[in-house]
Amino acid sequence: MKKRYLVIGIGAALLLAGGLFVVFGCNSAGSSALSYPSYGGTDPKGDFIVVLMDRDNQQVKKINFTEGETESSQSWYQYTAVSADTEYASGFSIVNRIDIEGGGYVLFAEIPDAACVFQAFDSEGHGDGNPVFLVAREAPAASSFYSRAYNWVKFIIDPTGTDSDMSCGFAAFDTSGEAGEMYGAAYSRKEEFLDESDGLSNINPSGDAGIDALTWDSGSGAFCIWEGATGDWSQAMAVTGTASGALILDWGPGAGGGGALAVPQTSAVDTLSTFWPVVDGTYLTMAYGYSFGEGAEIGPVKVVIMSEGSAGAIDVFNYSYRIEGGDSYLYNGPLALTRVEDEDISISFQDVAGNDLAASTVVQNAHKCQGAFVAYDSDEGYELLIMMAFDPSGRFFGFTMFEWISSEEQLTVRFGLGVKDANYDDAKAPSIPIG
């Protein structure tokens, strides 16, 4: 079987429907009108979400700007910490629960001031709605993004499921003298598989996109590009995050839909023996999965990153299903993680993006996608491709998985955001006996 590659990362300007790409502009940011520590993020169907945290009173408020909600229109919800030895936490110490009307509930986990994941469940414990992926946010000046490079992963949840997809690659922004021109490349394994193409595209083929078109929206605390009327979130691209950290991008349904996580590239992977101990650990990952012809699977999974010297590997398990003290794998792991820059796809990204023409040396090297990794497995009639983009501080990652089983003609895509739990206790994860 021909070896295929997919990369994880996210950039500050990404692919819209029909090949249209848009990016930040250079308007200065003001202070956000939102109060309390907050996260900005996406429901990957295309809804821009803000979550406020009142940790002193253990309250949380979720605001969906795409649906017309505001801070004043939404209520606070009380949350409680979930014991690690219950099926809801399954050994994780960072799980919180919000009980909602009708017997349903929401589980969320956060790395304070870094990243947060949310998922609602119905009274029977089935995923209700889509996962929400969020990062910490501030009000940075758009100019802070000059000469910066990101790995990115974009995810789209289609209400019918059939058009759900994920793509990955890099985006980087040139110097102020070059108007912050954007360079980048995208890759979709699903597109390659179904369309028999190479799945690659230049995210700024005209060369017109850059850091000179951004509008700061103080009411939401986000940079926006209004494709329609100002304030029409259904036709907007929103960018939120911090100047030095990760970004979340969201496209309203009328602007192509979907969301993306942009993770700063890092040079730490040059010394893998130093990099892997930073990122290894156990992560709670809120994930969306869609098996074409079968339907969606929404809920948490457990991801374990292991390191030994300069090597790294990944294992993925069902979150709360253990048999007689063991684990239930989503696949037969573990799998070795290799750097994107060591794969042929890195050169393909450079060929497609043309970033060697940039003035910034950071941008010239952005196609290497440092901090992004690939895991791959194949056999006769089987293919598995996992992509990961790590936060340089090892607190969270973006995650995608492509799986094809030819005997069942079953194509499955999965993606999510994982947050590390330094106090995960495997001994507290409940076991389910056989029989």
Q: How many domains does the chain have?
A: 2
Residue 268: per-residue pLDDT: 61
pLDDT over threshold 90, residue 372? yes
Residue 47: per-residue pLDDT: 96
Residue 291 belongs to domain with CATH number: 2.40.128
Residue 306: per-residue pLDDT: 93
Residue 28: per-residue pLDDT: 43
Do 251 and 267 contact (CB within 8 A), yes or no? no
Residue 76 domain-assigned (yes or no): yes
Residue 365 domain-assigned (yes or no): yes
pLDDT over threshold 50, residue 25? no
User: Sign of the CA dihedral 282, 288, 291, 294?
Assistant: positive
pLDDT over threshold 50, residue 365? yes
* DSSP-H helix ranges across 112-163: none
Residues 132 and 51 in one domain: yes
Residue 270: per-residue pLDDT: 65
pLDDT over threshold 90, residue 397? yes
The DSSP line for 166-215 is EEEEEEEE--GGGTT-EEEEEE-HHHHHHH-S--EEES-TTS--SSS--E
Residue 432 domain-assigned (yes or no): no
Encode pLDDT of 86-119 as tens digits. Answer: 989 999 999 999 999 889 999 999 999 999 999 9
Residue 259 domain-assigned (yes or no): yes
Which amino acid, residue 409?
Answer: E
d(CA 62, CA 54): 12
Residues 212 and 304 in one domain: no
Residue 387: per-residue pLDDT: 87
| Element housing 273 (H / E) | helix 272-279
Residue 431 domain-assigned (yes or no): no
pLDDT over threshold 60, residue 73? yes
Mean of pLDDT values over 208-212: 75
Encode pLDDT of 292-335 as tens digits. Answer: 878 888 889 999 999 887 889 999 988 877 777 777 778 777 89
The DSSP line for 70-116 is -TTTS--EE-EEPPTTSTTTTT-SSEEEEE-TTS-EEEEEEETTTEE
Q: What percent of the chain has pLDDT over 70?
A: 90
Residues 320 and 399 in one domain: yes
Of these ranges, 94-98, 270-274, 383-387, 388-392, the one predicted with the greatest mean pLDDT is 94-98
Look up residue 96 and give its two tokens.
Answer: 């919180």
**Between 238 and 212, the higher pLDDT residue:** 238
Which pLDDT band holds residue 13 (cuts at 50, 70, 90)? very low
Which pLDDT band holds residue 14 (cuts at 50, 70, 90)? very low
Residue 305: per-residue pLDDT: 95
Residues 208 and 226 in one domain: yes
Which pLDDT band holds residue 4 (cuts at 50, 70, 90)? very low
Mean of pLDDT over the chain: 85
Residues 190 and 277 in one domain: no
pLDDT over threshold 50, residue 195? yes
Residues 36 and 144 in one domain: yes
Encode pLDDT of 156-173 as tens digits. Answer: 898 777 788 888 899 898
Give the domain range for residue 206.
1-265+338-375
Name the pTM for this structure: 0.89
Q: Dihedral angle at the C-alpha atoms of 278, 331, 403, 289, nearest 10 degrees?
A: -80
Of these ranges, 23-37, 56-70, 269-283, the one predicted with the greatest mean pLDDT is 56-70
Spatial CA neighbour of 296 closest among 134, 414, 123: 414
Mean of pLDDT values over 336-342: 90
Residues 319 and 388 in one domain: yes
Do 303 and 314 contact (CB within 8 A), yes or no? yes
Residue 261: per-residue pLDDT: 93
Which pLDDT band holds residue 34 (cuts at 50, 70, 90)? low
Residue 110 domain-assigned (yes or no): yes
Residue 373: per-residue pLDDT: 93
Residue 35 domain-assigned (yes or no): yes
Mean of pLDDT values over 55-79: 95
Residues 283 and 256 in one domain: no
Residue 197: per-residue pLDDT: 84
**Between 9 and 290, the higher pLDDT residue:** 290
Mean of pLDDT values over 375-384: 90
Which pLDDT band holds residue 9 (cuts at 50, 70, 90)? very low
Residues 160 and 82 in one domain: yes
Residues 105 and 128 in one domain: yes
Residues 125 and 245 in one domain: yes
Instruction: Count the residues in the chain.
Output: 435
Do 416 and 396 contact (CB within 8 A), yes or no? no
Residues 325 and 238 in one domain: no
